[in-house]
Chain A
Amino acid sequence: MRERVFTLPLCGNAWIPFKTAAQQLGLEVVIPPPVTNETIALGARYSPEGMCLPFKINIGNYLQALEKGANCVVFYTNSRAGDKKHGGGGGGMCRFRHYGHLQQLVMKKTGADIEFFILGEGGGLIDQLREITGKGTWEVIRALRVLFKKLRVIELLEELSWRYRAVEKRSGDTTKAMNKALEYLESVQDFGTLDRLDPESFFASVETFDRQPLRIGVVGEFYLLVEPASNCHVIEMLGELGVEVHRHLSLGEAVLRYPPSFILGKLMARWLNMSIPPRSEIAEIARPYLSCSVGGHGRESVADTIRFHDAGCDGVLHLLPMGCMPEVTVRPILRKVSEDYNFPVLTLSFDELISEGAIRTRIETFVDIIRLRRERREERHALPGS
């Protein structure tokens, strides 16, 4: 039997904790090169045309990793979220449910000799990992513990970097600090060190202005929220325009919402050290506009737009891959929310043909609009008796 070399689809910085955990379990891994236009073009060439953008990027990742010597793909999916008990056919899921199997077919058609491991299918994550690695339950859990802890630290760093970038004095300082932090994190191996880390300390070198930046919440399809190359780096773009960004969903949160098993869910919540609003609360907030699940994170997009409004954000950016059924359904609903709450919402839809210039024009205009709105509001408040 040949030696297995594993790779994974890129999803923001999530490859860093994956790599650490894989090494701890004694697996050989190849990380695909960062997502570029080339990756997207490569993936689009082999994927079905109407498929969503994340699928195409994944395929591009596999093909590029293959060139670097990978021969196995690990894909994490969550079939539990799709079964009857947990929300019924598609409650919380969409085409993503079929990604693993479809990608396997697509890769076969390219003629690639590649093995697929679809983790999380059927809920037996730990059993699957034991089988792949030949390690014991305890070792697998230990590796997962480091994986989720590291993922959380990275997510906190990302969120902090969005806060700092909006008010940094020297443009580029935050990005530099962030890259340094990630580089350091790549080498950290043990849970204790990760647990004691203060993410804020990595940004000590960033000098900031003392001002209240504009705040925009980002909602929508979760891959677009976590992989910057899939959304033309809009979050960085916003930061450079002096806007603080908040996302409604991170990768950790997305996994935690539909954990592979009850016990693992409990453990993950502890490792990630985060609490998520219960599904019933989300449903309650969204109910005036959407009374059922539309799959994916559609209902979350509606509820979180309202929550961002209530939290005092200046606007919401809604991201979706072209043809994403849940988010396409939500799009006109968000327009209604925007009218009712008099709250700016900009929807951007992405596919492999999108031009960065077109996105930049829309983002810049959106930021100008909300900035003018805020100035107007402040003027009005400044006038006595109004």
Chain B
Amino acid sequence: MHYLGVDVGSVSVKFALIDEKKNVVDTLYMRNHGVIPTVKKGLADFQAQLSNGAKVSGVGVTGSGAGFSKVLIGADVHKTEILAHAIGTLHFVPKVSVIFEIGGEDSKVIFLRDGIITGFEMNRICSGGAGAFLDSLAGRLDIPISEVGRLALHRENEVNIASRCTVFATTDAIHKLNTGYKLEDVLMGVCNGLVRNYLAMLYRKVSPPPYTFQGATSKNVALKHALEQQLGAEVIVPPHAPCLGAIGAAILALENPPQQTQFKGFELAKFDYHISSFVCPDCENHCEITQIMQSGEPIASNGSRCGKLNF
């Protein structure tokens, strides 16, 4: 009995497999290069990594691309990323009081008390406190994103980067480099600025520790350092931190087990998927209807405000 969780985010897709005792069997983290090829490849790779005999009895999906992936993979449970992250984290840190999650394009803070979510904040109109910014800056400076944290910790000077807006922050970072600051100093300044922006936007209610920090950005040691310094407290990075959303989704599938799983199997490659879309002309809402075609047949359709074209 195994349960699969898939977290389809804007920047990456995460997979996790757990057994019926909630032990994590395996996880996989992939960059999102278009949801169809990524999910297909991810599932194939995942199967290759697994020892034989893993039978999937339920699948949970979460993340911004979950609605679509649910149909693609054949998932049984679909929950929001906030709930999935909280459930995944509670499994490893049952006493957690605040979860700091910095994802690619969204970032959130989740408040808990006695293992129950009491509230959450999520960035709304600005991705200033999210990871995609570091990613694009690293790309511009031609350093691998995985190296940013390690490099930044070797800073010699404190640099203040104007970080309210990420576009201007990039400008400011380049400007600082041009005035002669070392790359390491600037990277740390950017990490500090990102965390400052994140906390200012989302963490306006102060709660006592324990704190956890997760999402793919938690692999960045400089961000963790900046977060601890600005909070003035220790921050736990739980095991499998980048994949906790997927683990949470798997746990949710385990806790709400389907009678018969919808899972289409790891070999999605045998199906041919594509998307077709059209504008419904029937009323003034002009809904854009998106249909998922599996080998030429529509298997799901959404986007219709009145609901008549959704299935």
Q: Interface on A for B, CB 8 Å cutoff? A: 33-34, 36-38, 172, 175, 233, 335, 338, 344, 349, 353, 357-358, 361-362, 364-365, 368-369, 372-373, 376
Contacts and interface: CB of A to CB of B under 8 A. Distances in A.
Contacts of A34: 283-285
Contact of A358 (B79, B124, B307): B124
Chain A residues touching B, majority SS: helix
A202 to B, nearest CB: 19
Given A33-B284, A357-B64, A368 B79 contact: yes
B274 interface: no
Contacts of B81: 361
Given A33-B284, A36-B286, A365 B83 contact: yes
Interface of B: 64, 79-83, 116-120, 122, 124-125, 205, 283-286, 305, 307
Contacts of B79: 364, 368
B124 A344 contact: no
B284 A361 contact: no
Contacts, number: 46
B286 A38 contact: yes
Nearest to A346: B119
29 contacts: A33-B284, A34-B284, A34-B285, A36-B284, A36-B285, A36-B286, A37-B286, A38-B286, A233-B305, A344-B119, A353-B125, A357-B64, A358-B122, A358-B124, A361-B64, A361-B80, A361-B82, A361-B122, A364-B79, A364-B80, A365-B83, A365-B120, A368-B80, A368-B83, A369-B83, A369-B116, A369-B118, A369-B120, A373-B116
A-B pairs, top 9 by smallest CB distance, nearest first, are: A365-B82, A365-B80, A33-B284, A364-B80, A369-B117, A368-B83, A361-B80, A36-B285, A365-B83
Contacts of A368: 79-80, 83
Given A33-B284, A36-B284, A335-B205, 5 more contacts: A36-B286, A349-B124, A357-B64, A361-B122, A365-B120
Nearest to A364: B80
A338 B205 CA distance: 12
A338 B111 CA distance: 13
Contacts of B286: 36-38
B277 to A, nearest CB: 16
A174 B30 CA distance: 43
Nearest to B63: A361
A344 B64 CA distance: 24
B205 to A, nearest CB: 7
Contacts of B82: 361, 365
B218 to A, nearest CB: 21
B284 A38 contact: yes
Contacts of A172: 307
A334 to B, nearest CB: 12
B1 to A, nearest CB: 24
Contacts of A358: 122, 124
A344 B83 contact: no
Contacts of B305: 233
Nearest to B82: A365
Nearest to A240: B307
B125 A344 contact: no
Contacts of A335: 205
A33 B286 CA distance: 12
Contacts of A36: 284-286
B118 A344 contact: yes
Contacts of A344: 118-119
Contact of A362 (B116, B122, B284): B122
A239 to B, nearest CB: 12
Contacts of B284: 33-34, 36, 38
Contacts of A372: 116-117
